[in-house]
Amino acid sequence: MDENTVSHQKKEDFVVSFREKICYGLGDSACNVVYGLCSTLLTFFYTDYVGVNPLTVGMVFLLTRIFDGVSDIIMGFIVDRTKSKWGKARPWILWMAVPYAVTFVLLFLIPANASNMVHAIYIFVTYNLVNTVVYTALNLPYSTMASLITRDEKSRASTQAWRIFCGPGGKMVVTVSTLPLVRMFGNDQRAWIIVACIFAIVALLLLLVCFFNIEERVVIEAAEKEKVSVGKNLKALFSNQYWAICLGLWGFMVMMSTVSGTITTYYCKYLLGDETLYSLIYAAELIAQCVVVLIVPMFVDRFGKRNLTMYGIFLVIAAQVVWMVSPLNFTVAMVSAVMRGIGVAPLWACVFPMIADSAEFGQWKTHVRQDGMIFSAASVGSKVGGGLSSAGIGLLMTSVGYDGLAAAQTETVMVMIKNICLYAPIFFSAIIIVLCLLYKLDKIYPQVIAELKERDRQGIL
């Protein structure tokens, strides 16, 4: 074995420093400015501040997510073929920082007194610009860094834990502070625009901090030399069963998060009598989630990522049952939120390391290295899942006659809001548990990595 190979091997097994973990995590805080508002309060802004029909919002979101899923696949190919002095994924964080901030603000500049058709067109264009183009070109390479920073399993899990700590932390700050800030600035559309500008500047600065303080280390020389056709890439992708499971886990995780984050706003406004209570409930859930996320990597060796995820989801189901006992009691809602945050934390902490592991498994099984493709194709599940969730809520709310500008809602609307809020997380949790039972990569991962490193020494995939 020559000296260069030894040096390269040590570099890719690098134990990531605490500073780099934090700076990498801050990149997800920036990403969650858009994700946080789009998956929680953006629908509320459109329906209750601009007067857009909820079905219109939901259907536009669904169509956008379908386009977004296609753009993810395209971006995966682009990332895998990008070559720069900073690597293949990292430079996109720099290139997309300013467009990300600018397009985010455009979401809130919708003409308030226009027709429903104009509203639909404006939302479709701006939401696609933000999500299908800019956010995809930023977040997908950022996520791909999970498999490029290090190959060390413990360090990878810890780095992703800090990502999931910082990401929901950013989402929490945005979602918890938005409504109070909007009220402070006048509680109208202009107030939302001011708040969006503030968040956009903060996100831009965090992305720059992330870019200048992280590094790509995993460079598979054989993969760099080999040009793989689109057909071979897709064949390798669809023969990777663990990628498919991760696609499902990420998708249903986002569906559960989107439904809960969106409907709880309406629940607080109409059933608990004060929409600002949403900030407290959401904060309780995310704080619990963020704390537990940092603890999860300590137990990965003992229990495995699959088992930790599954045990946590059982707690999510228990949390919903607790809320059902007294659905109009704010204290019970807070207790349920804390339980739900603890329960969902292992899934958030483990899903990205699991996707990175599936990239290693894919190379081991098919002799094709496709980090960007693995993450882009897995993210299709999250994009389509988020779109289906938003469309589903819009369809259900419209079906019972919801009117965002009305002073009060009918009893039928109230029952619909309550049922979605209490029962939807249980439905998604059951599906996630089934997917966990199908995931068995934890057991063979050490063997996979050992064989891949031997291939690296031989210069083959």
User: Mean pLDDT throughout 238-260?
Assistant: 92
DSSP letter at 367 equals: S
User: Mean pLDDT throughout 342-358?
Assistant: 92
pLDDT of residue 224: 61
Provide the pLDDT confidence category of residue 222 given band limits of 50, 70 and 90: low
Who has greater pLDDT, 315 or 63? Answer: 315
Nearest to 222 by CA among 353, 89, 363: 363
Provide the pLDDT confidence category of residue 197 given band limits of 50, 70 and 90: very high
In this prediction, what percent of the chain has a pLDDT beyond 70? 95
pLDDT of residue 9: 43
pLDDT of residue 225: 62
Which residues does 42 contact at the CB level (< 8 Å), separation at least 6? 107
pLDDT of residue 4: 40
Residue that the structure tokens 């070559």 belong to: 83
Query: What sign has the CA pseudo-torsion 66, 68, 69, 71?
Result: positive
Do 294 and 161 touch, CB atoms closer than 8 A?
A: yes
Which residues does 196 contact at the CB level (< 8 Å), separation at least 6? 104, 105, 107, 108
Q: Is the pLDDT of residue 14 over 80?
A: no
User: Mean pLDDT throughout 416-432?
Assistant: 96
pLDDT of residue 2: 38
Annotation: CATH topology of 12-458: Growth Hormone; Chain: A; (1.20.1250)
Do 296 and 394 touch, CB atoms closer than 8 A?
A: no
Q: Is the pLDDT of residue 11 over 70?
A: no
Tell me how far apart the alpha carbons of residues 150 and 372 are, in angstroms, rounded to a whole number. 15
Tell me how far apart the alpha carbons of residues 89 and 78 are, in angstroms, rounded to a whole number. 9
Q: Is the pLDDT of residue 276 over 90?
A: no
Provide the pLDDT confidence category of residue 70 given band limits of 50, 70 and 90: confident
Q: Is the pLDDT of residue 335 over 50?
A: yes
How far is CA 336 from each of CA 69, 207, 276, rounded to the nearest angstrom?
A: 33, 33, 18
User: Mean pLDDT throughout 247-260?
Assistant: 91
Residue that the structure tokens 């992330």 belong to: 210
Burial class (CB in 10 A: 0-12, 13-18, 19+), 111: exposed
Tell me the domain boundaries of the chain: 12-458
Tell me, rounded to whole angstroms, the distance of Cα 390 from its chain centroid.
15
Q: How many CA atoms lie within 13 A of 158 on its CB side?
A: 17
User: Mean pLDDT throughout 5-25?
Assistant: 71
DSSP letter at 135 equals: I
pLDDT digits (tens, 9 = 90+) for 227-236: 677 788 888 9
Tell me how far apart the alpha carbons of residues 265 and 104 are, in angstroms, rounded to a whole number. 21
pLDDT of residue 313: 98
Q: Is the pLDDT of residue 5 over 50?
A: no
- Residue 330: which H helix or E strand, with range? helix 330-366
pTM greater than 0.95? no
Who has greater pLDDT, 132 or 436? Answer: 436
pLDDT of residue 6: 34
Which of 117-131, 155-169, 407-421 bottoms out in mean pLDDT, i.e. has the lowest?
155-169
Who has greater pLDDT, 230 or 312? Answer: 312
Do 337 and 284 touch, CB atoms closer than 8 A?
A: yes
Who has greater pLDDT, 290 or 380? Answer: 290
- How many other C-beta atoms lie within 10 A of the C-beta of residue 40? 23
- Average predicted confidence (pLDDT) for the chain: 88
Tell me, rounded to whole angstroms, the distance of Cα 393 from its chain centroid.
19
